[in-house]
Amino acid sequence: MQRVRGGLCRATGQRSEIDLPSIIACGGGQLARPRANYPLSNPALFARDRHHCLYCAHPFAANALTRDHVVPLSRGGRDRWENVVTACRRCNQHKGSRLLEEIGWELLALPYRPNNAEYLALINSRRILTDQMDFLATQFSANGRALI
């Protein structure tokens, strides 16, 4: 928590104070507006999917994971959050350029675009303080599964 002090009250002469979560408290100035479109990177994708293959459900180290396009690029799919999932190398190679229905597979969870708070948690998980994560977690979307 960070104590922020305001101006003096004319009537009482007392200074106003408020305790804010450290993620909100800043050194002053203007806050940047949150981005609406976050870059897709493998580290953020793997964190979103909690380092699990969304086909076989097993956890893996980052170096054993790949980005898989649910609708393959060769079939008109796009490289965007809503069309990519974390896959182990074995599952990604087996799926190839086929659609899930063609091989009888289902996803463990649906892919989604993280909101502002989720994206911050995904890319900064080791640098976020506990009270900051507690605040961010209240902003996660209902379909989010970022880090908590």
Segment 15-27, tens digit of pLDDT? 888 887 666 555 5
pLDDT at residue 113 greater than cutoff 80: yes
In the chain, at which residue ranges do the beta strands (DSSP E only) sit? 2-8, 15-20, 65-69, 84-88
Banded pLDDT at 34 (limits 50, 70, 90): low
C-alpha 100 chain-centroid distance: 24
Of 18-22, 76-80, 114-118, 134-138, give the lowest mean pLDDT range: 134-138
Mean pLDDT for the stretch of residues 25-51: 75
> Strands 65-69, 84-88: parallel, antiparallel or unpaired by DSSP?
antiparallel
pLDDT at residue 69 greater than cutoff 60: yes
CATH, domain range 42-103: 1.10.30.50
Strand partners, 86: 67
